[in-house]
């Protein structure tokens, strides 16, 4: 804090992000992490976990929409979806906008994240009581280890950075359990950090997915102003060989719900991998 500004200094990228705040609304130390809620002057409410910016009222739609809609429109017919992490419930809300989804399980280890979201980001939690939704608080690694083989169409790993409780969500052992649980044609998507400053993490992530049995990969960049460098990504992996540039474009163009960022055109544009990222991933 400095003169009513909240700053997150991110050593790995040599950068910082700041928001002008008016007051701290809440703070709780869960068994896993420290969660703070701040009121800002221009970005609505801000959730901070262990000093790292997680979500703001103003710009969360970039992340939640790209994490949900890109992979769901890439899958042929997603009915059963599992979200590992995602405690703020924004990704769950976007998943349940798809009428074809029959079951959506959200498994986050920290119940306090969801309780804070219900209080300070209620718009993100508006689908928590949807009859298709199961909101549970458990170890996502154990959940996937115990998942029935070939029982899931899409797995969304909506995790924090690969430290603390989320560290085990970025390795081959975890991805092997995801591969086993996916049905034929199944897809996994993982938030994959900044393609500008953390491309080494994306290379390692894709390598771990490949070693776990996944075949094809596509990293989709998108803006996310409150995260380090302001440029974020998600990486989709397929259980079997397929063209991940192909998605249900007509369905996406005719989607029966409103969005703030995701469109069929945005999806198509995100598939055009920038040359610098192509080169970096090939190294």
pLDDT for 75-96, tens place per residue?
Answer: 999 999 999 999 999 999 999 9
Q: For 117, what's the count of Cα atoms within 13 Å in the CB-facing half-sphere? A: 25
Claim to verify: residue 46 and residue 139 sit in the same structural domain: no
Claim to verify: residue 184 and residue 241 sit in the same structural domain: yes
Which residue, 39, 56, 73, sits at the end of a domain? 56
Q: Which band of pLDDT confidence, cut at 50, 70 and 90, is reported for residue 281?
A: confident
Claim to verify: residue 197 and residue 223 sit in the same structural domain: yes
Q: What is the pLDDT of residue 283?
A: 72
Claim to verify: residue 30 and residue 117 sit in the same structural domain: no
**How many independent structural domains does the chain possess?**
2
Claim to verify: residue 52 and residue 183 sit in the same structural domain: no
Average pLDDT, the chain: 94
176-196 mean pLDDT? 96
- For the stretch 93-148, pLDDT in tens is 999 999 999 999 999 999 999 999 999 999 999 999 999 999 999 999 999 999 99
Give the CATH number for residue 199: 3.40.50.150
State the pTM of this model.
0.95
Claim to verify: residue 51 and residue 164 sit in the same structural domain: no
Claim to verify: residue 67 and residue 168 sit in the same structural domain: yes
Claim to verify: residue 74 and residue 51 sit in the same structural domain: no
Give the CATH number for residue 36: 2.30.140.10
Claim to verify: residue 27 and residue 141 sit in the same structural domain: no
241-256 mean pLDDT? 98
Claim to verify: residue 37 and residue 148 sit in the same structural domain: no
Claim to verify: residue 22 and residue 157 sit in the same structural domain: no
175-179 mean pLDDT? 97
Residues with catalytic roles: 158
First to last CA, the chain: 39
Percent of the chain predicted with pLDDT > 90: 88
Q: What is the pLDDT of residue 12?
A: 81
Which residue, 56, 84, 99, sits at the end of a domain? 56
232-253 mean pLDDT? 97
**Token pair for residue 69?**
């809609």
Whether residue 2 has pLDDT greater than 80: no
Claim to verify: residue 119 and residue 221 sit in the same structural domain: yes
Domain that holds residue 243: 60-282
Whether residue 48 has pLDDT greater than 70: yes
Whether residue 163 has pLDDT greater than 90: no
């Amino acid at each position: 804090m400095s003169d009513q500004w909240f700053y997150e200094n991110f050593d790995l990228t040599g950068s910082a992000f700041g928001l002008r705040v008016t007051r701290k609304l809440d703070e709780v130390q869960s068994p896993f992490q420290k969660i703070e809620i701040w009121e800002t002057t221009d970005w609505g409410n801000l959730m901070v976990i262990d000093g790292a910016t997680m979500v703001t009222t103003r710009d969360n739609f970039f992340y939640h929409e790209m994490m949900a809609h890109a992979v769901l429109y890439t899958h042929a017919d997603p009915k059963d979806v599992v979200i590992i992490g995602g405690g703020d419930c924004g990704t769950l809300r976007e998943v349940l906008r798809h009428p074809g989804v029959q079951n959506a399980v959200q498994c986050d280890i920290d119940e306090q994240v969801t309780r804070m979201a219900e209080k300070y980001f209620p718009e993100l939690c508006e689908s928590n009581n949807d009859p298709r939704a199961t909101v549970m608080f458990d170890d996502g690694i154990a959940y996937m280890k115990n998942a029935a083989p070939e029982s899931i169409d899409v797995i969304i790993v909506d995790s924090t950075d690969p430290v603390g409780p989320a560290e085990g969500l970025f390795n081959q052992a975890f991805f092997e359990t995801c591969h086993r649980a996916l049905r034929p044609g199944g897809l996994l998507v993982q938030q994959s950090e900044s393609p500008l400053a953390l491309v080494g993490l994306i290379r390692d992530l894709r390598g771990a997915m490949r070693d776990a049995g996944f075949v094809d990969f596509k990293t989709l960049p998108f803006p996310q102003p409150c995260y380090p460098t302001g440029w974020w990504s998600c990486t989709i992996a397929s259980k079997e060989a397929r063209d991940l540039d192909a998605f249900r474009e007509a369905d996406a163009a005719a989607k029966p719900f409103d969005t703030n960022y995701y469109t069929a055109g945005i999806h198509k544009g995100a598939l055009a991998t920038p040359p610098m990222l192509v080169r970096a991933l090939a190294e």
